[in-house]
Amino acid sequence: MELFEKCRRFTAPRRLMAAGYYAYFQPISSAQGPEVTVNGRQLIMVGSNNYLGLATHPRVKEAARRAIERYGTGCGGSRLLNGTLDLHEEVERKIARFKRRDAAILFSTGFQTNLGVLAALGGKGDLLVTDRWDHASIVDGCRLAFGETRRFRHNDMADLERALREGRGRGTLIAVDGVFSMEGDIANLPEIVRLARAYGARVMVDDAHATGVLGKGGRGTPEHFGIEKEVDLVVGTCSKALASVGGFVAGPARVIHYLKHQARSFIFSASLPAPCVAAIGAALDVIKDEPERRERLWENARFMKRELGALGFDTGASKTHIIPVILKDDRLAFRFWKLLREEGIFCNPAVSPAVPKGRALIRTSYMATHTPEHLDRILTAFRKVGKRLRVI
């Protein structure tokens, strides 16, 4: 096949566009609040990862403005060479304190964090063990590693033990999402930790969707379960509750030192710009100073989980602020999305490969800044569309 022939044959998105069911790359012309502007129309946003509403918080915006004035808009190089600012190191120390770890480093994106950490640690002869529903960045990080990868059935601890038993005697890292991004369920971290200790493995948790949200102090899944000291490495992104962009890994000082010099996606990437770094630091301060935001988020999430279920929707095993409406059929998911858009709701249809085949869904995610009026309008739209399409 000629190289570009695959591009010509890639027609699925164009067919969706022609039919009016294309749900992606929607241009938003406002900030990521509970309402957004799309093509001049106000929509209720129920598809954002701005969980605590900090992307528009005055303290976060002001910190970014001050950083631009002092440092400019870019660093002009990688962290290894000329791109490390005192601000990077200051915020890394703040992340380490927040996560109760020895040290931390900031990557330019959360995706690059998993690529770098897994490829650097998963050397020849090592074993990487992952959940089948882990994020694509974990999947791709394992592909880059020279070690072997084994995947276990989603949250299936017997299958995890099988993988560990078969790989016994090798350097082993279990890498799992803390909160799974499509369906909002939580990893069985206590049992994962128990099995890891029994088989001499290390544990890495990607807390992208849990940082700032789970746990008494918002420190994530390990705090939620009360096992912070039992988890070896915590990865996270700064593009969700931390209201910026970037990623981090926090853990033992010797491991962080190793990754600073071995993680290729850290060494060979341009440094995270100062305004983004300053926003991360300010967001961490707000998380500490305004716990009521997290409380409001959980109130909203519990309300929506209960009410969507009462309407008759299948919301799966979600226990968090990410609540799926599981429809199973891809075409139905796109039709559902389009009708919700007509009702003024911005949400996200998820089909394979973002979710397993036969498990298409509408992904909804909630924010601390959603009001009761917003939630009532969302439920009204779901009820109307669900009845029209005979889902409920």
Q: Quick check: is 265 catalytic? A: no
Q: Nearest-CA neighbor of 92 among 305, 321, 324, 284?
A: 284
181, 244, 265, 318: which one is catalytic? 181
Rounded Cα distance between 207 and 271, Å, is: 22
88, 99, 209, 374: which one is catalytic? 209
CB atoms within 10 A of CB 346: 21
Rounded Cα distance between 88 and 96, Å, is: 12
240, 305, 321, 374: which one is catalytic? 240
Cis check: omega of the bond before 353, within 30 degrees of 0: yes
Element containing residue 36 per DSSP (H, E): strand 35-38
Q: Quick check: is 57 catalytic? A: no
Q: Quick check: is 209 catalytic? A: yes
Tokens at 99, concatenated = 């996560």
Burial call 3-29: b when 16+ CB within 10 Å, e when fewer: eeeeeeeeeeeeeeeeeebbbeeeeee
Beta carbons within 8 Å of 131's beta carbon, 6+ residues apart: 151, 152, 154, 155, 176, 177, 180, 187
Helix (H, G, I), strand (E, B) or coil at 236: strand
Catalytic residues: 181, 209, 240
